[in-house]
Amino acid sequence: MAPRWIHKLATLDLEERILNAASVTTIVGVFLPWISGEWLGGDSVTYTGLQFYTSFLGIAVLLMQAFIVSLTAIPLATGSALVSRGKHEVIRFALTMQSTVLLVAALSVLTKVTFEFSRIEVRFGIYVGLIGSIISSMYAFLKLQQHRKLATQDLFRHPDDAAPAQLRSVRMVPQAPPPPPPLQPESHHVHRS
């Protein structure tokens, strides 16, 4: 079972693998510490992306990135797609961009909290999630542009262009008529005496 799964993952193109790896990195970043330090009263606290003031943002990012990964994982496992191929790239791009915006919003909230309480600091989890989300957004944009380019090319492709090269060479292509035979030189007498 595992070798088949690994073989299917290896058949994905490089951009698809990078996009999904960045989404998994974002998911891992949600579970890492986002903020920690000494709270009021001297208690040492550490909050992940699923806790503190930013918990709803962390849950939303987690769900969006999990859906992005499932858009690739479910067709590999079952063979049936969650959404049609035409909307696949648009949905992924929209979700990755929304995830990036939410993580920037969470970072701004955490930064504001660190300004109010001097012993609280932003931790690496939010940065891991933000970097993963930015990378997945860039590759989702790249995949969207490739999809649009192929759709445009398909619109203007002629059915004969899809024929194999051997069939095109066998096809009777009208030849240009052979050039006419060279003309006989004319004899011009300049002066006759």
Distance, CA of 18 to CA of 147 (rounded, Å): 17
Q: What is the pLDDT of residues 159-179, one digit of tens each?
A: 666 555 555 555 566 788 888
Does pLDDT of 111 surpass 70? yes
CB 98 within 8 A of CB 64: yes
Query: Helix, strand, or coil here: 85?
Result: helix
Q: Report residue 102 CA to chain centroid gap.
A: 19
Does pLDDT of 138 surpass 90? yes
How many CB atoms are located within 10 Å of the residue 26 CB?
31
Task: Tell me the average pLDDT of the chain.
Answer: 82
Cα-flanking dihedrals φ and ψ of residue 47, to 5°?
Answer: -120, 135
101 to each of 30, 133, 145, how far by Cα in Å? 14, 9, 21
CB 54 within 8 A of CB 106: yes
For the chain, give the percent of residues with pLDDT over 90. 24
Select 2-151's CATH number: 1.20.140.150, 3.40.50.720, 1.20.90.10, 3.30.465.10. Answer: 1.20.140.150
How many CB atoms are located within 10 Å of the residue 55 CB?
15
pTM: 0.73
User: 116-138 burial, b for 16+ CB within 10 Å, e for fewer?
Assistant: eeeebebbebbebbbebbbbbbb
The residues, ordered by sequence, that sit 6+ positions from 99 with a Cβ below 8 Å of its Cβ are: 26, 60, 61, 64, 65, 133, 136, 137
Among 5-9, 98-102, 105-109, the range scoring the smallest mean pLDDT is 5-9
pLDDT bin (cut points 50, 70, 90) of residue 52 is confident
What is the pLDDT at residue 65? 92
Residue spans per domain, the chain: 2-151
